[in-house]
Amino acid sequence: MKPINVGLLGIGTVGGGTFSVLKRNASEITRRAGRPIQIGIVADKNLELAKQVTGGACRITDDAFAVVNDPEVDIVVELIGGYGIAKELVLEAIENGKHVVTANKALLATHGNEIFAAAQKKGVMVAFEAAVAGGIPIIKALREGLTANRIEWIAGIINGTTNFILSEMRDKGLSFETVLKEAQRLGYAEADPTFDVEGVDAAHKLTIMSAIAFGNSMSFDKAHIEGISKLAAEDIKYAEQLGYRIKLLGITKRTPEGIELRVHPTLIPTKRLIANVEGAMNAVLVKGDAVGATLYYGKGAGAEPTASAVIADLVDVTRMHTADPDHRVPHLAFQPDAMVDLPILPLSEVVTSYYLRLRVDDKPGVLADITRILADQQISIDAMIQREPGEGEEQTDIIMLTHRTREKNVDAAIAKIEALPAVTGKLTRLRLEELQ
């Protein structure tokens, strides 16, 4: 049978991995897809690299638009990244009636509504398994495997760089800055790590999963995003003493008031499986009403794990290439005319539990003042540590875990506690999720 012809945009880490795995497992992939899948043309600014990776097995060009306008190309694989030229290329490929496979979470989280509408209009597929959690087939699980369920919530470790940093901080008691330098040396963190350590990368991925889980439009601009750069080593240590681990979680929940969409450092009970995901690994916990909690674990980045997801999408598109567009799996799991615009809950209305650490004068009555302020805001204490001051010290740390309460109540309590004369500096507040 005639091979399906693929145009590859970008042959860097993931592009090179895709070319390599597709070649190595060609016969197995053909048996699954029903016809051969071949990369006929590659576009990359680095022509020497493209020649080296492909070994002359296909045409190469430094003009990506030549690929999306090539009449012989059936599927365009976009692995360039970013929002600019990638968006132009994807929309032009769709306009030309070509299917698209992309690993570009930033593009989909910010422009997905426009891209999926264009694809729907032209009757083509946009597949994006590789955009979230690398080699873990979480998109397929949400979109197809769990389709009988009303999804209640998703909580995911979806950035390997930050998980590596937090694991090292916990294991070695080192500061964020020290571990970040080590992560950069090992290649886990970019020279500019802002997207990773400030939670933006995780928020892109969470936005996509939330849209699929709840049939909502992409709402990245409404996500609460908080990274790990201000996280102190002592909070990781205190959390451990209380039976918790701190992870950067992407959390999206369905509530009667709207959808929660938030990324921030989170305390998780040590006994939960997801709390024990270490190093650069990813894990996503999905709670459905019928199936209960399901956990998806694996490598969230890297050449071949991400290539695995890219090629899975290529196989899916190849299988459905000739199918009636109305009978394909919808891009975001729900039929396009059944998508909704559920409100995204502001963080002030989120209900969860909290970890609070404050530095106070070691004298009578201080704790009573603090607990009275918390009680006035209907915040009850679940657990507490009061560290014994060292010899000659006049101040000490108090660490509290609260029961579930609304964020705005905690905001009001913190403002009053910080105004107490016996309290020094800013209070540290982290959120806590039981994930039951």
d(CA 125, CA 434): 38
pLDDT digits (tens, 9 = 90+) for 297-342: 999 988 999 999 999 999 999 999 877 888 888 888 788 888 888 9
410: Cβ–Cβ under 8 A, 6 or more apart, which residues?
354, 356, 377, 379, 402, 429
CB 163 within 8 A of CB 282: yes
Task: Give the pLDDT band (50/70/90) at residue 288.
Answer: very high
**Amino acid, single-letter form, for residue 286:** V
Distances from the Cα of 28 to the Cαs of 25, 101, 141, in angstroms?
5, 20, 22
Average pLDDT over residues 219-230: 97
Backbone torsions φ then ψ of 383, nearest 5 degrees? -155, 160
Q: Tell me which residue has tokens 């999963």.
A: 209
* pLDDT at site 331: 87
Query: Beta strand pairing status for 4-9 and 37-43?
Result: parallel
In CATH terms, the superfamily for domain 138-299 is Dihydrodipicolinate Reductase; domain 2 (3.30.360.10)
Q: Tell me which residue has tokens 């019928």.
A: 290
pLDDT digits (tens, 9 = 90+) for 395-435: 999 999 999 999 999 999 999 999 999 999 999 999 999 99
**Percent of the chain scoring above 90 in pLDDT:** 88
Beta bridge partners of 396: 360
Residue 411's nearest CA partner among 343, 345, 344, 347 is: 347
d(CA 112, CA 346): 22
Tokens of 8: 């590859």
Residue 428's nearest CA partner among 251, 193, 252, 265 is: 265
Residue 387 carries which DSSP code?
Answer: P
* pLDDT at site 257: 95
| Residue 1, pLDDT above cutoff 90 | no
Tokens of 13: 């880490």
Nearest-Å Rg of the Cα atoms of the chain is: 24
Residue 151's nearest CA partner among 252, 297, 296 is: 252
Average pLDDT over residues 157-176: 95
Strand, helix or coil for residue 57? coil
Tokens of 144: 């197809």
d(CA 429, CA 31): 54
| Residue 148, pLDDT above cutoff 90 | yes
Task: Give the pLDDT band (50/70/90) at residue 260.
Answer: very high
CB 239 within 8 A of CB 245: yes
**Percent of the chain scoring above 70 in pLDDT:** 100
Average pLDDT over residues 341-358: 96
281 sits in which H/E element = strand 281-288
**Where exactly are the structural domains of the chain?**
4-135+303-338, 138-299, 350-432
What rounded mean pLDDT belongs to the chain? 95
Task: Give the pLDDT band (50/70/90) at residue 391.
Answer: confident
321: Cβ–Cβ under 8 A, 6 or more apart, which residues?
4, 74, 99
d(CA 329, CA 327): 7
* pLDDT at site 326: 80
Residue 264 carries which DSSP code?
Answer: E
**Amino acid, single-letter form, for residue 115:** I
- More confident position, 392 or 288: 288
| Residue 18, pLDDT above cutoff 80 | yes
* pLDDT at site 78: 98
* pLDDT at site 301: 87
Tell me yes or no: is domain 4-135+303-338 CATH 3.40.50.720.
Answer: yes
Q: Tell me which residue has tokens 């109305």.
A: 326
d(CA 91, CA 119): 8
Pick the catalytic residue: 105, 205, 247, 253? 205
* pLDDT at site 250: 98
* pLDDT at site 389: 78
d(CA 140, CA 34): 20
Q: What is the pTM of this model?
A: 0.95
d(CA 434, CA 38): 47
* pLDDT at site 334: 86
Tokens of 436: 């039951």
- Sequence length of the chain is 436
Average pLDDT over residues 140-146: 96
Please tell me if the domain spanning 4-135+303-338 has the same topology as the one spanning 350-432: no
Residue 408 annotated as catalytic: no
d(CA 334, CA 329): 9
Task: Give the pLDDT band (50/70/90) at residue 344.
Answer: very high
In CATH terms, the superfamily for domain 350-432 is ACT domain (3.30.70.260)
